[in-house]
Structure 1
Amino acid sequence: METNKVVIESLAMNGGVGDHSYANNSSLQRSGFEAAKALIYRAIKENLDIKHLSRGRPFRITDLGCSVGPNTFIAVQNIVEAIEQKHQSQGLKLPLPEFHVYFNDHVSNDFNTLFASFPLERRYFAAGVPGSFHSRLFPEKSINLVYSFASLQWLSKVPDEVLDMDSTCWNKGRIYYTNAPSEVMAAYSGRFAKDMERFLDARAKEVVHGGLLALSFPCIPDGLAYSRSQIGGRVDEAKVDSFNVPFYSTASPMEVENLVAKNGCFTIERNEAWACPILEGNGACEMYSKHYRAFMEGLIKEHFGSDDEIIEELFKIFTKKISDSFDILEESNMSILFVLLKRKEDS
């Protein structure tokens, strides 16, 4: 199981600002966030109670899974502006609180590049918080608003069962659960449920009463078979048998709703999905390939070795496969789920 632990720590996106960095290859996530922007504004306008903000205490926001690059700053600025607009619209006599934003990601995240690219005219204080969001990160009742975009689909680890050669879930010849037996899918779904339980338990302790969780991540429509959700692959090399991607992108709105209900600490204020944006035009296939490379290269190098020539060849082949299968990608049933949760009063 030691290999599995190594994979977990390698989940950070490609750092720096080079050609294969996440900072320069996250336009898909940005497109998704732009689609969610109006939802976040509306969520704050309709669901955030700012009349009872404590005088003299900052309003604390955290971006869980911030990675590196401009997307996290755009998101945080939009949240701050939405809160300011609501404050002004209600004509409150209390002054606006100071904003304190915590940027969270794995300890191996490139926080140096993140800090170096902070906007010069930001209206908030900032701090980095390294660590997994599947566990506690903050003191009790200290956070007012939790934001996370395109992060919760990453599991805390590969399900143990799919790495066990004696298990019916042994995922031989595959690196993912698409086109795999139903037992493999069940193992991934079970791991997602455990991770969401830990995530919600941690946030239930950290978020103030009435505080909000604005979460968005890939999903599929209720009732859709996971095998119809996206392109999958099978590779015959023996070493692939022990390599699996800790990624679960086929949660459904009902699946998430049931997990929130099981936790019992939050009300669901909004739960809706929209189609994932699709890149078009010249260069779209290469952009998709670079997008995947930005968040998969670390995992691949950790398991198969860091030979740059092999990595280059791998993604050349991958780009061609995307081009050959682009019509399937265009017909994908993948969606983005936006879930707004509100912390209940303790019973």
Structure 2
Amino acid sequence: MSNNTDTVPESYPMNSGDGTNSYTKNSYFQRAATNVVKAKIDDVIAEKLDVKKNSSTSESTFRLADLGCSVGPNTFLTMQNIIDVVQQKYQSQGLASHMPEFQVFFNDHVSNDFNTLFASLPPRRSFFATGVPGSFHDWLFPESSLHFVYSSYALQWLSKLPEELLNKNSAAWNKGRVHYASGLMVLIIPGIPNGIHRSSAPTGMIFDFLGLCLIDMAKEGLIIEAQVNTFNLPVYVASPKEMTQLVETNGCFNIERMEITQPGARVDGLSGQALTKHLRAGLEGIISKHFGTKIIDELFDRFSKKQQESFNLLESKYNVGTQLFMVLKRI
């Protein structure tokens, strides 16, 4: 990471508070996906974490960080799960007497709703909680100060929308679409090989529905067409090959484990309405920033109806999401 402060990363906070459309109330899809990789994280800690090395030093605190923690409650469950497994590792190694204290750093953009996050902290927790506001694209922690770093559903957010998407003279101009993976991608992103890609994943289909709703609203004069043409979701999901190249180029880590997980079990209570609420909880902020708040209810009402027409197709493909599970070890 670089501590270059010349440019400020853009911020896309999830819906704050604990209301009907909040991320707090509409993030159980993400929780289900996180639960899928819990056993894998447990295995890696059991196999790879060197607690003997840590216990041999004067260091008495084990420090964890969740990058992109949002507003809870998923982050609390995950951090406690990790701590439980680390404690089990100490005990299994006969080091119970050297059990450290635990400190968790909850990180997200400065615009994140930290009030809701900390107001909902578990009252009986086995860790000290610390908030770290700022983009994880920048320098956040002192060198060699963390033992375990976790991130889920956060790395796909770009720090800044590539300018080529907004340039009418660029081959990557994304007219009429809200997500460039939904069309032909000829965009060069630093560190990511350029190429041609068309998304066929359920996420791409969902973004397509959202874009169609915005186009319809532009045709009816509810918004300006130029606003649609200049709106793009700053999201890029790197492939395993691309992630491998990025890690190798960075040179600071070894890849200990990498695999694609495709959870078979669907989320209980999956419905078109639930899908709409989850999308709104995650994207309302960035949409409001570009189009204003007046169109939000109408937009997501239209989205709900449009995707419900094709929900049988989505339901046949949509589970808790295809994920890239990757474990890195500092060199």
TM-score interval, normalised by the smaller of the two chains: 0.7 to 0.9
Please say if residues 178 and 232 of structure 2, whose CA atoms lie closer than 8 Å, have aligned partners that are also in contact. Answer: yes
Q: Secondary structure at the match of 2:82?
A: helix
Matches of 1:61 and 1:305, distance apart in 2: 37
- Superposition pairs of residues 73-152 of structure 1, within 5 angstroms: 73-92=76-95, 94-152=97-155
Q: How does 1:266-281 map to 2 (within 5 A)?
A: 266-275=253-262, 279=266
Q: 1:26 to 1:281 in 2, by over 3 A?
A: closer
Measured against aligned partners, the alpha-carbon deviations of 1:259-296 in whole angstroms (never above 9, x if no partner) come to 11111221111101112567567661110100010010
Determine what percentage of the aligned residue pairs are the same residue: 48
Kindly provide the CA deviation profile for residues 289-338 of structure 1, in whole angstroms up to 9, marking residues without a partner as x: 0001001001111111111xx21111111111221222432336951111
In structure 2, the partner of 1:300 is 287
After TM superposition, list the pairs within 5 Å mapping 1:43-58 onto structure 2: 43-53=44-54, 54-58=57-61
Find the counterpart in structure 1 of residue 200 from structure 2.
Answer: 228
Normalising by structure 1, report the TM-score.
0.82
Task: Give the number of aligned pairs.
Answer: 304
Residue number among 61, 67, 70 corresponding to 1:67 in the alignment: 70
In structure 2, the CA distance between the partners of 1:7 and 1:55, relative to structure 1 (3 Å rule), is closer
Select the residue among 310, 313, 326 that pairs with 1:328: 313
Q: 1:282 to 1:323 in 2, by over 3 A?
A: farther
Tell me how far 1:252 sits from its aligned partner. 1.5
Q: Show structure 1 runs of 5+ residues with no match.
A: 195-222
Give the TM-score of the pair, scaled to structure 2.
Answer: 0.85
1:47 shift after superposition: 0.7
Cα distance in 2 for partners of 1:168, 1:225 equals 14
- Structure 1 pair 136–109 and aligned structure 2 pair: CA distance change class (3 A): same
Residue identity in the other structure for 1:120: P
Q: Secondary structure at the match of 2:181?
A: coil
Q: Quick one: distance in 2 between partners of 1:40 and 1:141? A: 21
1:80 aligned counterpart, secondary structure? helix
Is 1:338 the counterpart of 2:325? The answer is yes
Measured against aligned partners, the alpha-carbon deviations of 1:111-164 in whole angstroms (never above 9, x if no partner) come to 011111110111111110000001110001111100001110111111111011
Residue 259 (structure 1) aligned with residue 262 (structure 2): no
Q: Distance in 2 between matches of 1:284 and 1:246?
A: 26
- Measured on the aligned residues, the alpha-carbon RMSD in Å equals 2.4
- 1:317 is the counterpart of 2:302: yes
Counterpart-to-counterpart distance in 1, 2:130 and 2:268: 39
Contact 1:265 1:343 in 2 (8 A): yes
Structure 1 CA distance, aligned partners of 2:246 and 2:59? 36
Q: Distance in 2 between matches of 1:80 and 1:343?
A: 20
Are residue 19 (structure 1) and residue 20 (structure 2) matched? yes
Whether 1:32 aligns to 2:33 is yes
1:239 paired residue number: 227
What amino acid sits opposite 2:171 in the alignment?
Answer: T
Query: What is the one-letter code of the residue matched to 1:228?
Result: S
The residue type paired with residue 311 of structure 1 is I
Structure 2 partner of 1:289:
276
